[in-house]
Structure 1
Amino acid sequence: MAKLTTDLDKLGVRAGETLLVQASLRAVGPVVDGVHGVVRALRGALGADGTLVVYTATPENSRTSSSYRAATAGMTPAQLRRHHARMPAWDRAQTPASPTMGRLSEEVRLLPGALRSGHPQTSFTAIGPRAGQLTEGHLWSSHLGEESPARRLYDSGARCLMIGVPVWCCTPLHLLEYWQPDRQEQRYRCVVRAPDGRRQWRSFTGTRLQDGHFPAMGDALLAGPPDLLESGPVGDAHCYLMPIREAVDLADKWFRSTKD
């Protein structure tokens, strides 16, 4: 763990800051105590005044996500009904983060004192002094938009640390989609656990999120101002550290230029 702490310090992680971490632990390589050791190193680098944030989304809980479409491809109507009946109802306190979010996200979600935002598809979890401010009031219609932790990370001057994943994996980059005049809306559907314990299907309308442009957008970020990104190793993983506000603003400018 001492090596990870040293690597985080060299990369530029600061005590007291708010840090969104998106990670591939496999890329980090062997660590004493595994994911627990990585979490301890991150919290140690941030200190008591820092806030650690992870993305604890559950994209399988949607009838429009790519995860859902892959799981239900080729099903007959009867099979589809059975699939819907077996879909776990989302519970803010109990439902694990999707395995696609990585083990780090679930480990942070389980920490005593961690707070999770109340979105059944795109929740964030935070631990630290700013956790409540970041996770409260996450509107369902605003998956990753103006009334979500993504916007609060942007407004608070938070940074994103991407451990062993591409720079375009920074989830708050989706904010720019909410700023486009031609953005499209769509109907979302999910299953949640009602206060009385019953399963309940709910529908709502929100901005249609797309990520086909993200790899090219990542190239634009890598080619951006030299002070935008810090890069270096954490364990065996190549990592990027960048300010969320500046990255989203640059990505928004790039995205608009591609449509001119």
Structure 2
Amino acid sequence: MAASMIKGPLCTRQSLYNDLRDLGIKQGDTILLHSSISSLGWVCGGAETVVHALVDVLGDAGTLVVPSHSVDNSDPGLWQNPPVPEEWHQLIRNSMPAYDPRTTGARTMGMIAETVRTWPGAVRSAHPHTSFSAIGSKAGELVADHALDCRLGEKSPLARLEADNARVLLLGVGFECCTAFHLAEYRLSITYQENVSFAACIANGREWVTVQDTAVSEDGFDRLGSDYERDKTVILGTVGGASARLFSLASAVDYAQSWLPKHRPGM
């Protein structure tokens, strides 16, 4: 039996740069990226090539931001995919390594996000569960002062990205990945509070911390995104073999604030 062929298209640093520029990304932009490298095709050089192409098109004045969430650093009693035995819960709480922005991985965010996290000069926010990593001219200011009791709200990088007129790039993924929609949840008075727990690094070492924070959910984000794309300006294109969407973060948050109370059950 003949060996199966590698699926294309073949993507290089130059071809990705051309596609990103043709999509409308400009020098000096601030971009919040959600991505799937497998959607691009066969990338010569892997995730590093993708990040190089993004840095090239953004230029010295631009900034690239990615979610670098450490989803395992959370209460094991809430884990579903998969759940762990209840008798393990307390041992996990006692043993989970404290969040360290230098070493705590973000593997579930994808290869491109993990590559940005470890990129020379990258800066990462301080939240043990929902950090963001950034490279570029505004990296430090965009991820600074991420409060422990504000995963994705006013004291998180999302609000700073909104103020900076950032745009969201969905590269081979759908609106269900659009973290920016969560900022709208924080601004709706009908949302409720929940306990959020994680292992944090404190002055005297490690501590399992529980805080009150706004409840968040991706429920309905795919339908929200479809309506947003129908009603507002979303640039559609192709980067490599991936479908790409580029749009204003502030516009998406504003639209979500009106959409969520009307369409999400219980809101």
Shift of 1:257: 3.1
Computed over aligned residues only, the root mean square deviation of the Cα atoms, in angstroms, reads: 1.8
Q: Which of 58, 63, 67 matches 2:75?
A: 63
Residues 58 and 181 of structure 1, relative CA distance in 2, 3 Å threshold:
same
Distance 2:143 2:203 in 1: 20
The answer for the alignment partner of 1:240 in structure 2 is 245
1:120 aligns with 2:132: no
Q: Which of 154, 158, 162 matches 1:150?
A: 158
| Paired residues for 1:138-177 under 5 Å | 138-177=146-185
The answer for the alignment partner of 1:210 in structure 2 is 217
1:5 aligns with 2:17: yes
| Residue type of the alignment partner of 1:183 | T
Gaps of 5+ in 2: 1-12
| Paired residues for 1:106-117 under 5 Å | 106-117=114-125
Residues 64 and 246 of structure 1, relative CA distance in 2, 3 Å threshold:
farther
Query: Cα deviation per residue 1:181-220 (whole Å; 9 max; x = unaligned)?
Result: 1110011111123455x43211111001111121211121
Distance 2:114 2:217 in 1: 24
SS in structure 1 of the partner of residue 80 of structure 2: helix
Shift of 1:85: 4.2
The answer for the alignment partner of 1:87 in structure 2 is 96
1:46 aligns with 2:53: no
Distance 1:80 1:59 in 2: 15
Contact 1:72 1:80 in 2 (8 A): no
1:255 aligns with 2:266: no
Residues 65 and 83 of structure 1, relative CA distance in 2, 3 Å threshold:
closer
Runs of 4+ in 1 over 4 A off after TM superposition: none
Distance 2:254 2:54 in 1: 27
Distance 1:32 1:209 in 2: 37
SS in structure 2 of the partner of residue 108 of structure 1: helix
1:34 aligns with 2:46: yes
Distance 1:60 1:212 in 2: 20
Distance 2:168 2:86 in 1: 42
Distance 1:31 1:70 in 2: 30
Residues 250 and 258 of structure 1, relative CA distance in 2, 3 Å threshold:
same
Shift of 1:234: 0.7
Shift of 1:109: 0.9
Mean alpha-carbon deviation: is it higher for 105-114 or for 79-88? 79-88
1:104 aligns with 2:104: no
Distance 2:156 2:34 in 1: 17
1:137 aligns with 2:145: yes
Shift of 1:142: 1.1
Gaps of 5+ in 1: none
| Residue type of the alignment partner of 2:117 | R
SS in structure 2 of the partner of residue 69 of structure 1: coil
Distance 2:216 2:66 in 1: 19
- The TM-score normalised by the length of structure 2 is 0.89
Distance 1:140 1:12 in 2: 35
SS in structure 2 of the partner of residue 16 of structure 1: coil
Distance 2:77 2:102 in 1: 22
Distance 1:47 1:40 in 2: 10
Distance 1:234 1:177 in 2: 30
Shift of 1:82: 3.6
- The TM-score normalised by the length of structure 1 is 0.91
How many equivalent pairs are there?
A: 253
1:222 aligns with 2:233: no
SS in structure 2 of the partner of residue 83 of structure 1: helix
